[in-house]
Amino acid sequence: MSKPQSNEWYERRRQIMEAALPVFAEKGFKGATNKDIGEQAGIAPGLIYHYFKSKEDLFNACIDEFLPIDRVRLPLETMIDVPPQQLLPLLLQGLNAIFQEPKFFLVMRILIAETMRTAEAASRLNVIFKHLVDPFAAYLQAQIAAGRLREGEPVLMAQMFLSSVALFFIRRIIGQDPVLQAMDVDEMARFVTGAFLRAFAPD
Amino acid sequence: MSKPQSNEWYERRRQIMEAALPVFAEKGFKGATNKDIGEQAGIAPGLIYHYFKSKEDLFNACIDEFLPIDRVRLPLETMIDVPPQQLLPLLLQGLNAIFQEPKFFLVMRILIAETMRTAEAASRLNVIFKHLVDPFAAYLQAQIAAGRLREGEPVLMAQMFLSSVALFFIRRIIGQDPVLQAMDVDEMARFVTGAFLRAFAPD
Amino acid sequence: MSKPQSNEWYERRRQIMEAALPVFAEKGFKGATNKDIGEQAGIAPGLIYHYFKSKEDLFNACIDEFLPIDRVRLPLETMIDVPPQQLLPLLLQGLNAIFQEPKFFLVMRILIAETMRTAEAASRLNVIFKHLVDPFAAYLQAQIAAGRLREGEPVLMAQMFLSSVALFFIRRIIGQDPVLQAMDVDEMARFVTGAFLRAFAPD
Amino acid sequence: MSKPQSNEWYERRRQIMEAALPVFAEKGFKGATNKDIGEQAGIAPGLIYHYFKSKEDLFNACIDEFLPIDRVRLPLETMIDVPPQQLLPLLLQGLNAIFQEPKFFLVMRILIAETMRTAEAASRLNVIFKHLVDPFAAYLQAQIAAGRLREGEPVLMAQMFLSSVALFFIRRIIGQDPVLQAMDVDEMARFVTGAFLRAFAPD
DNA sequence: TATGAATGAGGGTTCATTCAT
DNA sequence: GATGAATGAACCCTCATTCAT
């Protein structure tokens, strides 16, 4: 597997990963069997081992392949001149869009579940959150400097805002919380945005 | 198991559940073996079947037994006269204390992990959150009525506030996020409380 | 498996080893399946893992248990006063008896076969041969000192004598060589003894 | 495969056998995989089946191809006039040379290992030994007739002499016995030759 | 001729569950 | 009640063999 491989090889490999992802999400690493994955992918279970060293290798490859690190990073550094009143709704729309993506959804299910038992998965999830928080904190920092927001610790502001939003989406979409599903996303967005702006408006 | 049982029987049963809880938390339902649990409980694996129908029965019994529904319910209905400036820090202290409890910690790990794959676990987690949100929303409603907070949807206010705090604790304690572990809980509490009060101060 | 076990446990364990030995001898380590061994022992294949860590562990345990190191060691150190004319036939009778033992036969088959591919098995076989050669060489040394044999290197004498005899037995019993099977053991013994005594008679 | 094939076909076939031989010797029939053999031969595993019916067919072809029957036959029938004092060292040199040949070494490893479990391999080894013993016994018979050796059974003489020498080489080269590896081949040859000549000198 | 993807049978191993003791 | 030997199903994985290309 160290030799370079043909395009078809990579396509097939990716096809297996795409089939495995929902199986891992639904049943977990231990609960997912190669038989399940093979059926989902339309191949014999043994074929997995032409493309991956082991079930664990396939699992890690799935996460690496579909890990939403880049998807999650919004181009906030180019939007420093956009005032918070406009940017916050955009940010929320972006997050909402990401959470609607089927693969993001699946990888998050897998990562959150595994985070509960392996430090490795926890670390990956922490990295993802950091990729989300850091650019936003930098944006907030710039807004504070520009006098558009009150003085304060931008990292805490970012953590607080993103935490409440992220858990809203997680509980709504993954946790299937009926209370949150009954809520309108736009209404929530307006509410959270308004609260944030009042909380951190300049004195 | 339908006949009434002696006290010793129930004690033994509970002892097994207490031993099983950390094993399930660490290894997950599929990863935990009856041998593991038996060793942890100091009994032979076969004995589990005198107290539980199956491994799954034991698992569900563990969650039911240690589900932190009651622990999570703060007596907010008796504290309607306490102003938010005082109550919010108390609430955060209470939540912090709950998250420090070993069994709460373990059950949450299990429930969050299972939530990612079974609707049943998700539902249980939603109930827990509801038990947290509803009394707080009622409290906020009362504060609004008393003119201590601005007009607004109290359920949204409660969701937002508790979401950001809950995810802070989850990521800090279960997810072992180094960024959050470096933060001081009291500082976070002051920050979140201050932001909330500014956001929802009466006009 | 580190805890002390009951007698029954050791008996069962030994029973499995006794059943496994002929299977390993007939089919080799890789060729022998747990199903074969289980059938031979009258148990389910999975039960092997209550008594042994793995198939390899069982294999090594078989060899250690039935390795003929002690059987092979004749009490030559107490027979220094017996002249070679009497001792050599006794030695050959002893070797012949050992080679007739079913378990010796089986272990030798296994060890010789494995010697062809693993250094570990080769080493065990070398140790066995050394246990055979060294006491005999010491005996010969004493005979030379007593003037009953001519001067010469006793280790070479022992190696030469035992090699020709050992290969005779191996080819006859394990290799099923029809030429050697047609020979009479006693005749061979007289022949070899006579040749040895003439070759190493004192000048 | 019944049709006559081109020279290239036979060359390719032989190339595969040459590659397979060391793989079979090192890992045994079951342990050697077609992938191993293909890599060693620089071909894809599937190609083996253009030249051989099965892995077993390849295995047998390897042994037949490289079986050292002819290599082992020394032209003793032309050397009847050479006295034993000269011929025995020549014989030992010849055997030593044969055992040094890589392919002889490999085939012997395979055959000895398989001899331990299949009558077919045992039979082949017996034939090889017979091809070694018979001409030597004929030579000894002639020497006895010529009065250069004492009366006696020449087949036994040959068996005894060749057995001790063969096991010396096998244990030294295949079994990697450190005691024998420390010995000098020439010294061993002189020792064995001297002993033989004294044992069977005319009265 | 040659490749290597694909299959499927079967291997070693684990483990929930049962049951004689 | 309590044990742990015993089972059997199902797991992950390997690999000889086939076959479309």
Q: Quickly give D54 CA vs F16 C1' distance in Å.
A: 8
Model confidence at D37: pLDDT above 70: yes
Which of chain D's residues have a Cβ under 8 Å away from the Cβ of C109? 116-117
Model confidence at D77: pLDDT above 70: yes
> How confident is the model over A43-69, as pLDDT tens digits?
999 999 999 999 999 999 999 999 877
pTM: predicted TM-score of the whole model, two decimal places: 0.92
* Cβ-proximal residues to D172 (8 Å cutoff; 6+ apart), any chain: D180, D181, D183
Nearest to A28 among B28, B188, B198 (CB): B28
| Domains of chain C and any CATH numbers | 7-66 (1.10.10.60), 69-200 (1.10.357.10)
Separation in Å, CA of A183 to nearest CA in chain B = 9
Q: How far is CA B132 from the centre of its chain?
A: 9
Q: What is the dihedral of CA B139, B142, B148, B149, to 10 degrees?
A: 70
* Cβ-proximal residues to A191 (8 Å cutoff; 6+ apart), any chain: B152, B153, B156, B160
Model confidence at B157: pLDDT above 60: yes
Nearest to B168 among A27, A163, A200 (CB): A163
- pLDDT value of residue D3: 56
- Per the prediction, chain B carries an average pLDDT of 93
Q: Quickly give C95 CA vs F19 C1' distance in Å.
A: 57
Measured CA to CA, the distance from residue D82 to residue C46 in angstroms comes to 65
Extract the tokens encoding D27: 């890992």
> How confident is the model over A133-179, as pLDDT tens digits?
999 999 999 999 999 999 999 999 999 999 999 999 999 999 999 99
Q: What is the DSSP string of chain B?
A: --S---HHHHHHHHHHHHHHHHHHHHHHHHH--HHHHHHHHTS-GGGHHHH-SSHHHHHHHHHHHH-THHHH---GGG-TTS-HHHHHHHHHHHHHHHHHSHHHHHHHHHHHHHHTT-HHHHHHHHHHHHHHHHHHHHHHHHHHHTTSS-SS-HHHHHHHHHHHHHHHHIIIIIS--HHHHTS-HHHHHHHHHHHHHHHTS--
- Listed in sequence order, the DSSP H helices in C34-184 are 34-41, 48-51, 55-66, 69-72, 84-100, 102-115, 119-145, 154-169, 178-181
* DSSP 8-state secondary structure symbol assigned to residue A45: G
Separation in Å, CA of A30 to nearest CA in chain B = 6
Nearest to D112 among C112, C153, C194 (CB): C112
Residues in contact with strand E, defined as Cβ under 7 Å from any of its atoms: A 5-6, 8-9, 12, 43-47, 50; B 32-35, 45-46, 48-49, 54-56; C 32-35, 45-46, 49, 54-56; D 5-6, 8-9, 12, 43-47, 50
- Which nucleotides in chain E lie closer than 7 A to a protein CB? 1-20
- Which nucleotides in chain F lie closer than 7 A to a protein CB? 1-20
CA distances (Å), origin A14, targets A7, A18, A124, D138: 11, 6, 21, 71
> How confident is the model over B98-108, as pLDDT tens digits?
888 899 999 99
Nearest to B179 among A25, A27, A130 (CB): A130
Q: What is the dihedral of CA A120, A122, A123, A128, to 10 degrees?
A: 130
Q: What is the DSSP string of A86-146?
A: HHHHHHHHHHHHHHHSHHHHHHHHHHHHHHTT-HHHHHHHHHHHHHHHHHHHHHHHHHHHT
- Cβ of B174 within 8 Å of Cβ of A25? The answer is no
Model confidence at D1: pLDDT above 70: no
- pLDDT value of residue A1: 43
Measured CA to CA, the distance from residue A96 to residue A110 in angstroms comes to 19
> How confident is the model over D117-128, as pLDDT tens digits?
988 889 999 999
Closest-approach nucleotide to residue A42, Cα vs C1': E6
Q: Where is A194: in which H helix or E strand? A: helix A185-199
> How confident is the model over B164-179, as pLDDT tens digits?
999 999 999 999 999 9
Long-range contacts of B36-45 (CB under 8 A, 24+ apart): B41/B15, B41/B16, B43/B16
**A31 C-beta neighbours (distance < 10 Å), count:** 15
Give the residue from C54, C23, C57, C51 showing the smallest Cα distance to C37: C23
Model confidence at A196: pLDDT above 90: yes
Measured CA to CA, the distance from residue D29 to residue A179 in angstroms comes to 65
Model confidence at C1: pLDDT above 50: no
- Average pLDDT for D82-88: 95
CB of C44 under 7 A from strand F?
Answer: yes
- pLDDT value of residue C3: 59
> How confident is the model over B37-92, as pLDDT tens digits?
999 999 999 999 999 999 999 999 999 999 877 777 778 989 999 999 999 999 99
**Better pLDDT: D101 or B3:** D101
Which of chain A's residues have a Cβ under 8 Å away from the Cβ of B161? 164
Give the residue from B49, B28, B24 showing the smallest Cα distance to B37: B24
CA distances (Å), origin C188, targets A53, B54, B56, D157, D198: 58, 69, 71, 10, 19
**Smallest CA–CA distance from B168 into chain A, residue:** A163
Extract the tokens encoding B32: 């935990």
Contact criterion met (CB below 8 Å) for B29 and B114? yes
Give the residue from B190, B72, B188 showing the smallest Cα distance to B134: B72
Give the residue from D141, D70, D75 showing the smallest Cα distance to D107: D70
- Per the prediction, chain C carries an average pLDDT of 93
Extract the tokens encoding A202: 């300049």
Which of A33, A120, A171 to probe the B interface (max B CBs under 10 A)? Answer: A171
- Average pLDDT for C128-144: 94
- Cβ of D175 within 8 Å of Cβ of C117? The answer is no
Are B and D neighbours with ≥3 CB pairs closer than 8 A? no
- Cβ of C153 within 8 Å of Cβ of D191? The answer is yes
Percent of all residues in chain A with a pLDDT value above 90, rounded to a whole number? 86
